[in-house]
Structure 1
Amino acid sequence: MRLLALLAGMGMAAAQAGVFMVVSFRGEEVPERLLREVRPAGVILYPSNLRRDPQGVVRRLRALDPNLLLLVDQEGGPFTSYREGVVRFPSAMALSASGDEGLVERVGWALGCQVRRLGADVNLAPVLDVNVNPDNPIIGLRSFGADPERVARMGLAFAKGVLRSGARPVGKHFPGHGDTGVDSHLDLPRVDKPKEALERVELLPFRRYVAAGMPALMTAHIVFSALDPRYPATLSPAILTGLLRKEMGFQGALLTDDMAMGAIKRHFGAGEAAVQAVRAGADLLLLEPEEGAIREVHARLQKALGKEIPLARVEEARRRAALLRAGKGECPFTPKEEEALALEAARRGVVHPFGPLPIPGRGTLVLGLRLSERYGAEPSLADLAPRYLPGSFGLNLSEDPSPQEVAKAVEEAKKAERVVVSTHRWLGPFKEGQRALVQALFALGKPLYVVALGNPDDLRFLPRPTGYLATHGYRAVQVRAALEALAGVYAPSGQWVFGGEP
Structure 2
Amino acid sequence: MKKLVQLLSYMLVFVLLLTTPVSALTPSSLTQQGKKPVVQDNAKQQMVQQMAAQMTPEEKIGQLVMPSTHDNEQSMPNEDTKELIQEYKAGSVIIYGNRDAETTAEYNNQLQEWASETNTGIPLFSTADLEYGVNQHVTDATAFPRQMGIAATRDLEAAKEMASVTAEEMKAAGFNWNYSPLADVNTNPNNPVIGVRSFGENTDLVSDMTVAQVEGYQENGVLSTPKHFPGHGDTSQDSHHNLPAVTYDRETLEEVHLPPFQAAIDAGAESIMTSHVIIEAIDPDLPATLSKDVLTGLLREDMGFDGLIVTDAMSMQAIKDNWGAGEAAVMTIQAGADIVMATGSLDEQKETFEALLSAYESGELSQERVDESVERILATKVRYGLFDNRYVDPGEATDVVNSESHKELAESMAQDSMTLVKNDDTLPFDSESDESTLVVGPEIYNQSHYIEDIADAVQGKTNGEVDHYVTSEDPSDSEIDEAVQQAEQADRIIVSTFSASELPAGQSQLVKALGETEKPVASISLGLPYDIKEYPEVDAHIATYAIERWGSAVPVSWEAAVDVIYGASPGGKLPVTIEGHYEFGHGENYEAAAPESAGDIKAFVDQLEEEGAFESDVAPRALKRHLDAVSHYEEQKADEKVIKHMQSFKDLLDHQQTQELMTEEAYNLLQSQADALIEKWEAFAFDSERAMADVEHLSEEIGPRAPGSEAEKEASEYIKGELEKLGYSTSTQTFEFNGGEQQSQNVVAIKEAEGIENPEIVYATAHYDSVPGSPGANDNGSGTASLLELAKIMKDKPANKEIRFVFFGAEEAGLLGSQHYVSQLSDDEINRSAANFNMDMVGTDWDPASQLHVSTVDGESNAVWESVDAASDRLGLEDDRLTLHQLGRSDHVFFHEAGIDAALFIWMEPGTEPGQAGIEPWYHSAGDTIDRVDPEKIQMVGELINSAISDVPIEQEQDTDIAS
Q: TM-score, normalised by structure 1?
A: 0.92
Q: 1:221 maps to which residue? A: 276
Q: Distance in 2 between matches of 1:262 and 1:393?
A: 44
8 Å CA contact 1:389–1:483 kept in 2: the answer is no
Q: Distance in 2 between matches of 1:273 and 1:377?
A: 39
- Offset at 1:392? 4.8
Work out which of the residue numbers 474, 480, 487 in structure 2 matches 1:406: 480
Q: Distance in 1 between matches of 2:2 and 2:101?
A: 47
Q: 1:12 maps to which residue? A: 56
State the AA in 2 paired with 1:360.
D
CA 211–115 in structure 1, closer or farther in 2 if over 3 Å, else same:
same
How far does the alpha carbon of each residue in 1:224-245 deviate from its partner, in whole angstroms, 9 at most, with x for none? 1110111111111111001111
Work out which of the residue numbers 425, 430, 453 in structure 2 matches 1:360: 430
- Offset at 1:151? 0.1
- Offset at 1:424? 1.2
Choose 398-407 or 114-123, whichever is displaced more: 398-407
1:340 maps to 2:413: no
- Offset at 1:41? 1.4
CA 390–102 in structure 1, closer or farther in 2 if over 3 Å, else same:
farther
Q: Distance in 1 between matches of 2:407 and 2:101?
A: 20
- Secondary structure in structure 2 of the residue aligned to 1:87: coil
CA 430–243 in structure 1, closer or farther in 2 if over 3 Å, else same:
same
State the AA in 2 paired with 1:294.
Q
CA 199–2 in structure 1, closer or farther in 2 if over 3 Å, else same:
closer
Q: 2:68 maps to which residue? A: 24
CA 183–415 in structure 1, closer or farther in 2 if over 3 Å, else same:
same
- Offset at 1:378? 8.9
Choose 134-143 or 410-419, whichever is displaced more: 410-419
CA 256–50 in structure 1, closer or farther in 2 if over 3 Å, else same:
farther
Percent same amino acid at aligned positions?
Answer: 32
8 Å CA contact 2:185–2:199 kept in 1: the answer is yes
1:380 maps to 2:458: no
Q: 1:327 maps to which residue? A: 384
1:499 maps to 2:572: no
Q: Distance in 1 between matches of 2:496 and 2:542?
A: 9
CA 76–4 in structure 1, closer or farther in 2 if over 3 Å, else same:
closer
Work out which of the residue numbers 444, 465, 475 in structure 2 matches 1:371: 444
CA 499–308 in structure 1, closer or farther in 2 if over 3 Å, else same:
farther
How far does the alpha carbon of each residue in 1:22-79 deviate from its partner, in whole angstroms, 9 at most, with x for none? 00134333321232111111000112577992222112101101411100111108x9
CA 299–487 in structure 1, closer or farther in 2 if over 3 Å, else same:
same
8 Å CA contact 1:62–1:68 kept in 2: the answer is yes
Choose 453-462 or 89-98, whichever is displaced more: 453-462
- Offset at 1:366? 2.2
Choose 240-249 or 491-500, whichever is displaced more: 491-500
State the AA in 1 paired with 2:559.
R
CA 102–166 in structure 1, closer or farther in 2 if over 3 Å, else same:
same
8 Å CA contact 1:451–1:470 kept in 2: the answer is yes
1:314 maps to 2:314: no
Q: Distance in 2 between matches of 1:392 and 1:314?
A: 66
RMSD: 2.7
8 Å CA contact 1:26–1:49 kept in 2: the answer is no
Q: Distance in 2 between matches of 1:432 and 1:271?
A: 42
Work out which of the residue numbers 83, 87, 109 in structure 2 matches 1:59: 109
State the AA in 2 paired with 1:76.
Y
Which runs of structure 2 are paired with 1:89-108 in the superposition (5 Å)? Answer: 89-108=144-163
Work out which of the residue numbers 230, 236, 248 in structure 1 matches 2:285: 230
Q: Distance in 1 between matches of 2:93 and 2:143?
A: 23
Work out which of the residue numbers 482, 486, 496 in structure 1 matches 2:565: 486
How far does the alpha carbon of each residue in 1:346-367 deviate from its partner, in whole angstroms, 9 at most, with x for none? 0000111221221125233222
Q: Distance in 2 between matches of 1:36 and 1:364?
A: 59
CA 289–232 in structure 1, closer or farther in 2 if over 3 Å, else same:
closer
8 Å CA contact 2:101–2:141 kept in 1: the answer is no
- Offset at 1:164? 3.0
Work out which of the residue numbers 38, 63, 66 in structure 1 matches 2:88: 38
CA 138–65 in structure 1, closer or farther in 2 if over 3 Å, else same:
same
- Offset at 1:316? 1.8
Which runs of structure 2 are paired with 1:133-148 in the superposition (5 Å)? Answer: 133-148=188-203
1:476 maps to 2:555: yes
CA 109–212 in structure 1, closer or farther in 2 if over 3 Å, else same:
same
How far does the alpha carbon of each residue in 1:249-272 deviate from its partner, in whole angstroms, 9 at most, with x for none? 101000000011111111111111
8 Å CA contact 2:101–2:140 kept in 1: the answer is no
8 Å CA contact 1:75–1:111 kept in 2: the answer is no
Work out which of the residue numbers 157, 163, 187 in structure 2 matches 1:132: 187
Q: Distance in 2 between matches of 1:217 and 1:3?
A: 36
State the AA in 2 paired with 1:63.
E
CA 238–50 in structure 1, closer or farther in 2 if over 3 Å, else same:
farther
8 Å CA contact 2:181–2:213 kept in 1: the answer is yes
Q: TM-score, normalised by structure 2?
A: 0.49
- Offset at 1:204? 0.9
Which one has the largest radius of gyration? 2
Number of residue pairs the alignment of both structures matches: 493
- Offset at 1:371? 3.1
- Offset at 1:221? 0.6
- Secondary structure in structure 2 of the residue aligned to 1:354: strand
CA 321–402 in structure 1, closer or farther in 2 if over 3 Å, else same:
farther
- Secondary structure in structure 2 of the residue aligned to 1:257: coil
State the AA in 2 paired with 1:190.
A
Choose 431-440 or 125-134, whichever is displaced more: 431-440
- Offset at 1:142? 0.5
8 Å CA contact 1:237–1:279 kept in 2: the answer is yes
Q: Distance in 2 between matches of 1:324 and 1:121?
A: 11
- Offset at 1:493? 2.3
Q: Distance in 2 between matches of 1:450 and 1:36?
A: 53
8 Å CA contact 2:451–2:470 kept in 1: the answer is no
Unmatched runs of 5 consecutive residues or more in structure 2? 6-54, 117-122, 387-396, 548-553, 583-964
Work out which of the residue numbers 97, 102, 109 in structure 2 matches 1:47: 97
CA 338–285 in structure 1, closer or farther in 2 if over 3 Å, else same:
same
Q: Distance in 1 between matches of 2:140 and 2:332?
A: 37
CA 408–51 in structure 1, closer or farther in 2 if over 3 Å, else same:
farther
Q: Which has the higher contact order (CA 8 A, sep 6+)?
A: 1
Q: Distance in 2 between matches of 1:447 and 1:274?
A: 56
Q: 1:8 maps to which residue? A: none
State the AA in 1 paired with 2:573.
Q
State the AA in 2 paired with 1:252.
G
Q: 2:517 maps to which residue? A: 444
8 Å CA contact 2:64–2:340 kept in 1: the answer is yes
Choose 43-52 or 247-256, whichever is displaced more: 43-52
State the AA in 2 paired with 1:62.
Q
Q: Distance in 2 between matches of 1:351 and 1:334?
A: 28
- Secondary structure in structure 1 of the residue aligned to 2:460: helix
8 Å CA contact 2:451–2:468 kept in 1: the answer is no
8 Å CA contact 2:223–2:270 kept in 1: the answer is yes
State the AA in 2 paired with 1:487.
Y
Q: Distance in 2 between matches of 1:62 and 1:461?
A: 51
State the AA in 2 paired with 1:345.
M
CA 389–280 in structure 1, closer or farther in 2 if over 3 Å, else same:
farther
